Amino acid sequence: METKDLLKKVRKIEIKTRRLSNHIFSGEYHTSFKGRGMTFSEVRQYQYGDDIRAIDWNVTARYNEAHVKVFEEERELTMMLMVDISGSSEFGTKNALKEDIVTEIAATMAFSATQNNDKIGLILFSDQIELYIPPKKGKSHVLRIIRELIEFQPKSNKTDVAQALKFLSSTQKKKAIVFLISDFMAEDYEHTLKIASKKHDIIGIRVYDVREESIPNLGVVPMLDVETGKVELINTGSKQVRLNYEKHYHEKVKYFKETFSKCGAGAVSSRVDESYVTKLLGYFKSR
C-alpha cells in the first residue's frame, strides 16, 4: 500500500473510532476498568478514626508513635492489544473482512484508553510473535498502532493463541487490561490463559463471519485453507461433509466460550455484519 493511501486509511479509521471512543466507549471503559487496584501512597501519623488494620508496625516501632499506610486508587492502567493476524483474518463475505473489523475494534479500544491517559501496547501474532510494541501513551503512538494493524504483513499464516499468551506473561510484568482479538479457530490454550488471567484482566473478542458457521451445498468445489495454503476438492453435496464441518466449527466456538469462562476471563463474540459497538457496550455494562 502506498504511503498516501495508507495515511488516508489511517485517517478514516481514526475519525470513525475516535468518535466512538469519545462519545460512547470512554465512559464505559472507565467505569469497567478503573479503580480495580490500590497502590501504596505514603505512611503518615495515625489519626482518630483510621482503620487499625492499616497500622505500619515497623514504622510505629521505629518512631514510638502509631503510623498508618495510606493507599490510593490505581488511576493509570496499561492496555495490551493482542491481535491475531493469521491467514484466516483475511476472510469475509459481508460488509468487511474480519481484519477490517478487528482493526476498528482495536483502534476504538486504544482511543478509549488514551482518553483515560493509559498506556497502550500491541502484540501482533500468528503462530509466532510477529510484532511487539511496548506500552506507551499519546495519540501519535495510537496512530502508529493503527498503521501497523493496517499494513503489517505476517511471516506465517498459522495461529497459536497459547504462544501469544506465553509472550504476554513473559513481557508484561505489571497488571494490564488485555483485549485478545481473534477468530479463535485454535485449541490448547486453556493452560496459558489460566496463568495469564491470574495476573491480567483478559477479554477475548471473537470476530467471525456468518459463512464460517456452515458450508452450503455447492457440489464439488476447490477450497483454500488460508492457514496452510493447501487447496482441496471438497464435496459440499455430501450431508456428512457439511455436518462434520459444522461440528468442527462449533467445537472450536464452545472451547473458546468454556475456556474463557473457566479461567475467569471475559468473552465477546461479534459477527462482521453485526454492530461490535453494541456487543462491546453490552459486555462493559455487564461487568
Q: Residue 71's pLDDT is what?
A: 65
DSSP-assigned beta bridge partners for residue 204: 180, 267
d(CA 170, CA 49): 43
Determine contact, residues 56/68, Cβ cutoff 8 Å: yes
Q: Residue 127's pLDDT is what?
A: 95
Q: Residue 253's pLDDT is what?
A: 96
The candidate with the shortest Cα–Cα distance to 164, out of 83, 239, 244, is 83
**What class is the 3-33+75-286 domain?**
alpha beta
Q: What is the pLDDT along the chain (287 residues), one digit of tens a residue?
A: 666 676 777 777 777 777 777 766 666 766 677 655 556 667 889 888 888 888 899 999 989 999 988 765 556 789 999 999 998 887 766 678 899 999 999 999 998 888 888 899 999 999 999 999 999 998 899 999 999 999 999 999 999 999 999 999 999 988 899 999 999 999 999 999 999 999 999 999 999 998 888 888 888 888 877 777 788 888 888 899 889 989 999 999 999 999 999 999 999 999 998 888 888 888 888 87
pTM of the model: 0.80
d(CA 220, CA 171): 47
d(CA 112, CA 29): 7
Map out the domains of the chain as residue ranges.
3-33+75-286, 38-73
Q: Residue 247's pLDDT is what?
A: 93
Indicate if the alpha-carbon torsion angle 137, 138, 140, 142 is positive or negative. Answer: positive
Grid coordinates of 197: 488471567
Q: Residue 77's pLDDT is what?
A: 83
d(CA 120, CA 105): 14
Q: Residue 36's pLDDT is what?
A: 52
pLDDT in tens, 184-243: 999 999 999 999 999 999 999 999 998 888 888 888 888 877 777 788 888 888 899 889
Q: Residue 37's pLDDT is what?
A: 55
177-182/78-84 β-pairing: parallel
Determine contact, residues 105/13, Cβ cutoff 8 Å: no
**Strand spans (E) along 167-249:** 177-182, 201-208, 220-224, 231-235
H-state helical runs in the chain: 3-20, 26-33, 57-63, 98-115, 139-151, 161-171, 190-199, 239-262, 276-286
Burial readout 21-31 (b: 16 or more C-beta within 10 A, e: otherwise): beebbbebbbe
Helix (H, G, I), strand (E, B) or coil at 94: strand
Q: Residue 271's pLDDT is what?
A: 92
Helix (H, G, I), strand (E, B) or coil at 118: coil
